Structure 1
């Protein structure tokens, strides 16, 4: 690990955390490796132990390290699972979209462009369980009395199953932000205006295409979903922006 170049105004914990993070990303420190002790790190970076502790807290907050107590304890490089990474990615994407108020059309374009990237693999690799899960969500969406919240959750679950049907954990991670962050935010805007029967019809077309191993038909169904979502979203936003009279 290289010593940080510092000045009096620098954020020392952030610089130390970055140096350790770079060591992890470069492979100098690998999963389950024990980090040097606080005292050794303090000497390496010529800082106090409280400064080192703050740097370690930042790494722990990023799920890069874990700490253990006892004679054989200390700070260790964390072995992060895909499920944990996906949850963090979706959470970060939700926060990013909420704070920056991304244009609805831009989010819609990105969300469906990302999802169509997995249809070929999903068609080739989908299992019977994948199809059953998607059709179970379609049946759920057609239930009378299903709340808007539950309908939206089912919507997300169906698309997440489509992504996972591609059988590639890296793609599932990359698309977690699209499916579990962008889609719920779009649902929040469009749920009051959309026709559930239209959504169910498009979801059925999508699932039929995946079952038939027909990527072109699957992408056509996603294109239909994108067009419908964009139409609804723009209509809702236009009505909200319309000045009230009287």
Structure 2
């Protein structure tokens, strides 16, 4: 791994990057023990606390694990999809909220990604996936369900559709779309949402997957995308209408 560090940049970050690259490249393999802190300090020409900080960075990313005792040390971890799932959701949420991505762009991306799962889910979904989707549809139809719980159910419904594709890589990639983008979109559109319309579209989508009709499932997702964009436009129009009188009053003053 690269051992020459630039004194102008964070040394611990550079060490962490060098070790991470060695793991990605396969030069350090799963369960392999890393050199000791003192050995790495000598190799990189830094202090042990600097090495320790680098290891903390890698542990926070689940790339290494530490063990105590005579046979302890730092070891390359086997990163699991479920462990990386949360990171994907957090990253997608932060990217969208911090970079002011417009609603239509987020909506387009979110449904394009999910559409990629529709055909696979139609062929591979299990009875459990269908049961999960039907259960969420039933939950959404309850008259006393709050907006927050409806949004949670909406996310769970689409999560079951994605997981029905039976592909952990797709499920991981879509974690940000389903559990990062979708809640943000729900926050914008919930006040204008026609629950009966959403439930009808969800039912049609579940029916298409049960019939193993991938094309029909994709059409349902297209309809949901159009419905979501229309809701957002209605919310924006209502918001602009509320602002107009206030702005006019301000000019008159």
Same structural fold, with TM-score higher than 0.5 when normalized by the shorter chain: yes
Which residue matches 1:3? 3
- 1:227 is displaced (CA, Å) by 0.3
1:33-112 correspondence runs (5 A): 33-112=32-111
* TM-score normalised by L of structure 1: 0.96
What CA distance in whole angstroms lies between the structure 1 residues aligned with 2:184 and 2:28? Answer: 38
Corresponding residue SS for 2:65: strand
- Alignment RMSD (CA, Å): 1.2
Give 5+ residue unaligned stretches, structure 2. Answer: none
The aligned counterpart of 1:205 is 204
Aligned residue in 2 for 1:232: 231
CA apart distance, 1:180: 0.6
Counterparts in 2 of 1:160-179, with a 5 A limit? 160-179=159-178
Partner SS state of residue 192, structure 1: helix
Q: Name the counterpart of 1:119.
A: 118
**Cα separation, 1, equivalents of 2:160 and 2:132:** 7
TM-superposed CA distance for 1:130, in Å, is 1.1
**Post-superposition shift, 1:77?**
1.4
Q: How many residues align?
A: 245
Q: Distance in 2 between matches of 1:145 and 1:2?
A: 60
1:62-112 residue CA offsets vs partner (Å, 9 max, x unmatched):
221121222222111122211111121111111111111111000000000
In structure 1, the partner of 2:24 is 25
Between structures 1 and 2, the one with greater helix share: 2
C-alpha contact 1:4 1:15 (8 A) present in aligned 2: no
Structure 2: distance between partners of 1:224 and 1:79: 40
Separation in 1 of the partners of 2:122 and 2:4?
A: 49
Moved over 6 A (4+): none
Residue by residue over 1:148-176, the C-alpha shift from the partner in whole angstroms, topping out at 9 and shown as x without a partner, is 11111110001000000000111100111
Counterpart contact for 2:126–2:164, Cα < 8 Å: yes
8 Å contact kept, 2:5–2:44: no
5+ unaligned residues in a row in structure 1: which ranges? none
How many angstroms does 1:231 deviate by? Answer: 0.8
Counterparts of 2:4 and 2:186 in 1: how far apart (Å)? 45
- Range that drifts further, 183-192 or 88-97: 88-97
Q: Is the 8 A contact 1:206 1:218 kept in 2?
A: yes
Structure 1 residue 198: deviation in Å? Answer: 0.5
Quote the Cα distance in structure 2 between the aligned partners of 1:125 and 1:236: 37
In structure 2, C-alpha distance between the alignment counterparts of 1:47 and 1:95, rounded to whole Å: 33
Secondary structure at the residue paired with 1:18?
A: helix
**Aligned-partner SS, 1:66:** strand
User: Which 10-residue stretch deviates more, 84-93 or 168-177?
Assistant: 84-93
Give 1:122 deviation, angstroms.
Answer: 0.5
Do the aligned partners of 2:129 and 2:160 also contact (CA within 8 Å) in 1? Answer: yes
Deviations 1:138-197 (CA, angstroms, capped at 9, x unpaired): 000001100111111110001000000000111100111100100110000000110100
